[in-house]
Chains A and B, each alone.
Chain A
Amino acid sequence: MYVAVKGGEKAIANAHRFLSEKRRGDIRVPELDVKQIQEQLGLAVDRVLAEGSLYDRELAALAIKQAQGDLVEAAFLLRAYRTTLPRLGVSEPLNTGAMRLLRRISSAFKDLPGGQLLGPTYDYTHRLLDFSLLEPKAVPENVVYLADRSIPLVHRAPRVTDLLGGSQLVESSQPDDAADPHDVTQEPFEIPAPRSARLQVLARGDEGFLVGMAYSAQRGFGFRGHPFVGEIRMGYVPVVVTIPETGFSVTIGSLLMTECVMLSRREKRGPDGSHFVQGYGLVFGANERKAMAMALVDRALRSHELGEEVRYPAQDQEFVLRHSDNVEASGFVQHLKLPHYVDFQAELCHVRSSDESADSQEAAEK
């Protein structure tokens, strides 16, 4: 039972003033500019706009500054802000095949058309602290790239699944555009949830939770068989929208996104004769770890529809979908610190009265 508490207004106001001083830190150190966060802490911005489910780099950077770098709190701020805006429309389905690539790799196919592009990656770094970053550089560094016979980028790199299409190795995807996708921001979902709702939940889910789930599935608490990265691509996806005033579709810009297609064997051959099925991940920003985890968890959550036994948490829709949202999860975990004085009193009374009745019963039996 919830019982309201009153009082504490001044203490709360002062606590928030204290917080703003703590947020600012030592005033001899220059204050952080939101632009600096946007430009130089880009991966933090990417995580916040993905989990906040709102692509706005400036607002995500502002949220990070306001939350003192607490990224889950920052995602919460973005979600709250989102509710104040009207929805002006729905885009045409994004075409990730038209992505302007910054990175594109496959660990299943060595020689894929369009090439393997490492892009700006932390892979193959030695994870040694770079002490030269301790001091800001007086003038921006002029980065010189190693000369190589560089083949220009292809305009459009085919997706690995396009290359396998028709081979009947991988399940084919025939889009059914008759019904609109489920929108979990407008309508609560039920279990079992359609794949559209599942992917929307995963795309905005907590990275840590999804990585943990994906890891558990890999370690044997999930689907059978080794998953392979069919393709990971990161880059700018054009946003196309039909503007009501014109009646035709216009590209209004592009957004940085990461896509992952994970291939894994299915236990039984599919009705189309396929041996492999896809797990799919698509996330705002440069968010490779999350896109990969999303693809693995999507695959695990398909166990039921693929006729596999659902035995472990990563395969269980209720377990994954109801616990992956960090705004909901941190809210429920943290509500415990709010005053529960009456609840606890009630428990105490209950324990005391049951002890007393037990004592008197014992006394009577003697």
Chain B
Amino acid sequence: MATNHSSLGKEAQDARRRWMAVLAEADSQDLQSFWDRRENKPHYAVMSGPETGLLMLQARVGGDGDRFYVGEVTVTRCSVSIAEGPQGTAMVLGRRPRHAEIAAVLDAELQDPRKREHLMTTFIEPLARRIQEAQRREAGRVAATRVEFLTMVRGE
């Protein structure tokens, strides 16, 4: 197996965790259009998937107490390997086979130090900026609904 996670240092693991999160959370259309525009797409073999199934979600009573199951969500996962390179893997929310496959290929390539910097600049950073921008816009609207209730003391 090419997944040598035991040899991955903490820093490398955190970096991978971050790009995997950005790839999973990216808008499917954004990811697809970034992918379509790319030249020299890599050759890869699909090892498993893309497969859609259920992820059972655990929660905690009161937010911090004992665990319970709150319900399930659809997820799609995919694993690929690129020629003479590491394996890539992805799990994304929803039924999005194409999204999971592209994310898995990019995860494999990003583990290759020769390709990483280029892919971080062309894929991960712009996708992360779009996610942040959308969140920032929404946070502004939420902040506009902040309310300060005053308690009135009835005069004698």
**B135-156 near A? 1/0 per residue, CB < 8 Å:** 1001111111111110100000
Interface residues of A in 83-142 (CB under 8 A from B): 85-97, 100-103, 110, 115-121
Q: Add 15 more A-B contacts to A94-B57, A184-B69 (CB < 8 A).
A: A57-B94, A90-B55, A95-B63, A101-B142, A110-B149, A116-B149, A153-B143, A159-B64, A173-B62, A173-B65, A175-B66, A175-B67, A181-B69, A248-B13, A255-B93
> A207 at interface (Cβ–Cβ under 8 A)?
no
Q: Write the B61-89 contact mask toward A (1 if CB under 8 angstroms, else 0).
A: 11111111111111101010000000101
A252 touches B92 (CB 8 A): yes
Most buried by A among B20, B69, B75: B69
- Whether A229 sits at the interface, judged by CB under 8 Å, is no
Q: A58-B95, A252-B25, A280-B62 are in contact. Are A102 and B5 (CB under 8 A)?
A: no
- Contact with B91, one of A57, A92, A102, A252 (Cβ below 8 angstroms): A252
Interface pair A199/B55, CB less than 8 Å apart: no
A91 touches B56 (CB 8 A): yes
Chain B positions within 8 Å of A57 at CB level: 94
Q: How far is the CA of A116 from the CA of B87 in the complex (A)?
A: 46
Most chain A Cβ neighbours within 10 Å, of B59, B91, B92: B59
Does B32 belong to the interface (CB within 8 Å)? Answer: no
Q: Is the CB of B71 within 8 A of A284?
A: yes
The reply to whether B74 and A89 contact each other, CB–CB distance below 8 Å, is: no
How far does the alpha carbon of A56 sit from the alpha carbon of B5 in the complex, in Å?
31
Indicate the size class of the contact surface on chain B.
35 or more
Contacting residues, chain B, for A177 (C-beta < 8 A): 66-67
Give the residues in chain A near B145, CB-CB below 8 Å: 103, 117-121
**Which residues of B come within 8 Å of A, CB atoms?**
3, 5-6, 13, 16-17, 20-21, 24-25, 51-75, 77, 79, 87, 89, 91-95, 135, 138-149, 151
B59, A94: Cβ atoms under 8 Å?
yes
Contacts of A180 in B (CB 8 A): 67
Chain B residue numbers with a CB within 8 Å of A284 are 70-71
Most buried by B among A82, A85, A180, A197: A85
- Check A247 against B67 for contact (C-beta < 8 Å): no
* A92 to B17 alpha-carbon distance, docked (Å): 15
* Set B57, B140, B142: member contacting A239, Cβ < 8 A: B57
A364 at the interface (CB under 8 A from B): no
Q: Does A356 contact B (CB under 8 A)?
A: no
Residues of B within 8 A of A56 (CB): 73-74, 94-95
Q: CB within 8 A of B75: which of A97, A103, A252?
A: A252
Specify which chain A residues have a CB less than 8 angstroms from the CB of B64 in the assembled complex. Answer: 97, 159, 161-162, 173, 175
Chain B residues with Cβ below 8 Å from A47 are none
Please determine whether B54 and A96 come into contact, CB atoms closer than 8 angstroms: no
Q: Of residues 242 to 282 in A, which have CB atoms within 8 Å of B's CB atoms?
A: 243, 245-255, 259, 261, 278, 280, 282
Q: Is the CB of A94 within 8 A of B71?
A: no
